[in-house]
Each structure stands twice: as structure tokens, then as C-alpha cells.
């Protein structure tokens, strides 16, 4: 067995994780167990991507994100929901300002849409159905 030097704040975090793992498993855990768990469940992101996320949180004061970890967890959760929800999915970037204005318009006009995404989906469906009907008439 080898020993390593760790900083006090890392020691505190590892001890907390050992406590969580012990509570989950019902048996005593060690730092080695905690480190193995972290390595098994961690994702390494490029430093420049982490910097962009941190800068975005700082500059835009994104509501609810205390740090980049929360942002990444939320982004992964959202993407997973999108993929599971849709049989086919194409990501189309929409400027935040335009999305927010559309959301405001839908609220103010009591339009029959839950949100801008619902509006976009229903409009696409209408256009596709119209196209199919026109094709069918031509045949």
C-alpha cells in the first residue's frame, strides 16, 4: 500500500464521500473506495470548455448555477430527456433573446402552446401534414 499527501479541503471532500458511500452500501468504505467511485463515475472535460462554462455563469449570472458542475449535470440531464423524448431529434440553435420573446408572446396572447418548443413542434407538424396532403392530391 502506498500513501499520498492530500490537501485539507480534498481530505474533507473525500471523507464526506466515504460517509455517503458507507450510508449507501451499509458497510464501511475507505478513501480507496471513494477514489475508485470517483474515477468510475467521472467525466473529464477539456479545460477550455470548463473555462467557457465558468465564464458564462459569471458573465450572465445564470440563475441557479453555483458552479460548472451543476451546469454540466443540468445540460446532460436536459440532453438525455430530449433524446429519450424524441424518436428523431435535430438540434436547431435559436438565439436566447428570440426564444424569450416568443415565450413572452405566447404567454401574453394565451396561445395554445405550452412553450416555444411546443409552438415549433406543432408548426412543423402542420407544415408536414399540409405537404403530405398536397402530395396526395397531386397523385
Write down the pLDDT at residue 62. 58
Number of domains in the chain: 3
Clarify whether residues 49 and 34 are in a common domain: no
User: pLDDT for 73-119, tens place per residue?
Assistant: 999 998 888 778 776 667 778 888 888 899 899 989 988 888 888 89
Phi-psi region of 2 (alpha: psi -120 to 50; beta: other; left: phi over 0): beta
- What is the distance of C-alpha 129 from the center of its chain? 32
Clarify whether residues 38 and 48 are in a common domain: no
Write down the pLDDT at residue 12. 92
Q: Print the domain residue range for 56.
A: 44-87
Q: Please indicate, yes or no, whether the overall pTM of this predicted structure exceeds 0.75.
A: no
Rounded to the nearest 10 degrees, how much is the dihedral formed by the CA atoms of 60, 45, 31, 5?
-90
Rounded Cα distance, 45 and 98, in Å: 30
Terminal alpha carbon distance of the chain: 78
Which cell numbers hold the place of 26? 451499509
Q: 28-32, 52-56, 86-90, 113-117: which has the minimum mean pLDDT?
A: 86-90
Q: Above 80 in pLDDT, residue 38?
A: yes
Write down the pLDDT at residue 29. 93
Which cell numbers hold the place of 127? 407544415
Amino acid at each position: 500500500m502506498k500513501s499520498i499527501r492530500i490537501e485539507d479541503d480534498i481530505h474533507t471532500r473525500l471523507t464526506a464521500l466515504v460517509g455517503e458511500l458507507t450510508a449507501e452500501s451499509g458497510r464501511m468504505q475507505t478513501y480507496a473506495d471513494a477514489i475508485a467511485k470517483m474515477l468510475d463515475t467521472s467525466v473529464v472535460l477539456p479545460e477550455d470548455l470548463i473555462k467557457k462554462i465558468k465564464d458564462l455563469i459569471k458573465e450572465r449570472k445564470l440563475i441557479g448555477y453555483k458552479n460548472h458542475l451543476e451546469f454540466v449535470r443540468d445540460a446532460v440531464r436536459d440532453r438525455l430527456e430530449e433524446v429519450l423524448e424524441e424518436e428523431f431529434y435535430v438540434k436547431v440553435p435559436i438565439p436566447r433573446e428570440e426564444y424569450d420573446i416568443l415565450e413572452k408572446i405566447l404567454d401574453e396572447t394565451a396561445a395554445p402552446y405550452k412553450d416555444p418548443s411546443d409552438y415549433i413542434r406543432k408548426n412543423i407538424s402542420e407544415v408536414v401534414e399540409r405537404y403530405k396532403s398536397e402530395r396526395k392530391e397531386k397523385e
